[in-house]
Chain A
Amino acid sequence: EAQVTQNPRYLITVTGKKLTVTCSQNMNHEYMSWYRQDPGLGLRQIYYSMNVEVTDKGDVPEGYKVSRKEKRNFPLILESPSPNQTSLYFCASSSTSENIQYFGAGTRLSVL
């Protein structure tokens, strides 16, 4: 089954404790993205990747890191989380032939 898998689904952490949210897709898509969703602000792109070792900043990259060492994986790293990063995070992938974003199930992060 074609899917985008992100883990964990829920995470509660404390300020400053490094964390990683994993994302994996099995559709051989070239493009992968991370979004955060906040009430009234819609979906805002954090980082996106056009292929292995090619990443670029989206609209809200501050406080986040990403890496794309393999085509299927695109982890989101918060080196020193802060409460303003409490949000719902979505990973998505798409192919070069179409821009349809396939979203993961989401990760709800709370930073205390």
Chain B
Amino acid sequence: GENVEQHPSTLSVQEGDSAVIKCTYSDSASNYFPWYKQELGKRPQLIIDIRSNVGEKKDQRIAVTLNKTAKHFSLHITETQPEDSAVYFCAATPGRGNTGKLIFGQGTTLQVKP
């Protein structure tokens, strides 16, 4: 079945450094790839997304890249700050179009040390 693998499961960086989280997906027809951030005790919230017709998208300190051929996509956070500490989830929509179904990765706990 459809699957999304996310690595690493934990990531610790020094404030100001960059952080990269990587995901691979199994369904070559997937066309939408969001990233969610979940702070401790809170609900997941969308931080950035990318569609399959785009290779890269940037929003201030965060960026997402997509390699459709290799079926992987990555989240890049530059100039990390303590408030970036959270659990990050990647996800992919299986199949074509929007059906409401979303497959999430296992999550990455990012710790930014001051």
Contacts and interface: CB of A to CB of B under 8 A. Distances in A.
B102 to A, nearest CB: 6
Contacts, number: 66
A24 interface: no
Tell me what chain B mostly uses at the interface: helix, strand, loop, or mixed: loop
B29 to A, nearest CB: 14
Given A99-B32, A100-B34, A31 B100 contact: yes
Contact of A99 (B1, B89, B98): B98
B9 interface: yes
A46 to B, nearest CB: 12
Given A40-B9, A100-B49, A103-B45, A59 B102 contact: no
A35 B9 CA distance: 20
A31 B93 CA distance: 13
A41 B105 CA distance: 8
Contacts of A30: 100
A103 B103 contact: no
Interface stretch (A11-19, A78-86, A90-98): A90-98
Given A56-B101, A97-B98, 4 more contacts: A35-B104, A40-B106, A100-B46, A103-B44
